[in-house]
Amino acid sequence: MSNPQTKTNNKKNNATGKLKGILVLLVGLILVALMVLWSSLFKAYPVEGDKQMIAINQGDTYSGLIDRLAKENKVSFPMVLKLYQKFFIHDTLKAGVYEATQGMTVREVLSLLSNAENAQMNRILVIEGTTFKQLVEALKKDDLVSKEVVNLPYDQMLKALNISFDHPEGLFAPDTYFFAKGESDKKILTDLYQRQMKALDTAWEKRATDLPYQNKYEALIMASIIEKETSVDSELEQVSGVFVRRLKMGMRLQTDPTVIYGMGDRYQGNITRQDLRTPTPYNTYTINGLPPTPIALPSQKAIEAAMHPDASNNIYFVATGNGGHTFTSNLQDHNRAVQDYLSVIRSSN
């Protein structure tokens, strides 16, 4: 016969055991949570030396930055960091170059980047192939740039910059630049202009013989077209060769980027047959030779390619559909390459 007192004691022991188990589990969860918080927010941000610069571009987000730092093994538990930013840092990232010093925690670095007043320098990113209009708009939106000239009409802006050209397109070198916080747009544009002119002068002095340009400005126009036609560095001289040979032959350039540039704000992402037939000063399907100005900001590589076209006989090229282009020397081969491109496009849809 069982003892009621024994049953009661067993129940108490079971309840006590369960309670202890729950407490151990809670303590374990708390310890894990504390470890995650320390490893994500309160550990030291990795700094090589006494300090390290962190560059933030216009449009960068905390989510993108945290993912990038996680891939670089500079932070842990990115989801925790994103949640912390969402609930405790209500500002967005501010463009600029910030100084992380030895001993700063990850949490302190994240907070540092939300206040432009903390920026030590301003990072200006000028992407090759973008237009001068896009460069100006980026400077207008940059809170760390003092505004002197970007709100002026182009002719007055060029005069204020002491630039003798009538049109600003193509005259400013694309690259990544670092300027002091609060630097003037005038100083920035002057620097970019001088760099582009130096690159153009150097390439012009070392240019190949028998080029169809009347002056180095025409070479700059060609460089901008080359820049817009391919993003593959190994193709720059091939594209240059096609257009140089067309100029020499009296053949129209027939390049879509010039049509798009001439359309201006009318361009909404697609060009039609009617657009190709509609004359503008930039429509190389309807005009002979080069357009009157560059159509973008060409890189130094594109400028050098304009001065050194390849030595093939190619006068046509078309996209492959898989990246890059197919270059051909006659219409029959070109038409075949066009059909190959269309086949790739159809198979991917």
> What pLDDT, on the 0 to 100 scale, is given for residue 118?
84
Give the distance, in angstroms, between the CA of residue 324 and the centroid of all CA atoms in the same chain.
Answer: 19
What is the enclosing helix (H) or strand (E) of 71? helix 62-71
> What pLDDT, on the 0 to 100 scale, is given for residue 323?
84
> What pLDDT, on the 0 to 100 scale, is given for residue 242?
97
> What pLDDT, on the 0 to 100 scale, is given for residue 169?
98
d(CA 325, CA 238) in angstroms, rounded, equals: 10
pLDDT tens, the chain, 349 aa long: 555 555 555 555 566 666 676 776 666 566 555 575 666 788 888 888 888 888 888 788 999 999 999 999 988 888 888 888 888 887 788 888 888 888 889 888 888 888 878 888 888 889 999 999 999 999 999 888 999 999 999 999 999 999 999 999 999 999 988 888 889 999 999 999 999 999 999 999 999 999 999 999 999 999 999 999 999 999 999 999 999 999 999 999 999 999 999 999 999 888 999 999 999 999 999 999 999 999 999 999 999 999 999 999 999 999 988 889 999 999 999 999 999 988 888 887 6
> What pLDDT, on the 0 to 100 scale, is given for residue 148?
96
> What pLDDT, on the 0 to 100 scale, is given for residue 122?
85
Give the distance, in angstroms, between the CA of residue 290 and the centroid of all CA atoms in the same chain.
Answer: 28
Q: What token pair was written down for 245?
A: 């040979």
> What pLDDT, on the 0 to 100 scale, is given for residue 83?
87
> What pLDDT, on the 0 to 100 scale, is given for residue 13?
59
Question: Rounded to a whole number, what is the distance in angstroms from the first to the last CA of the chain?
Answer: 81
> What pLDDT, on the 0 to 100 scale, is given for residue 78?
87
Pick the closest to residue 143 from 179, 94, 89, 98 (CA basis).
94
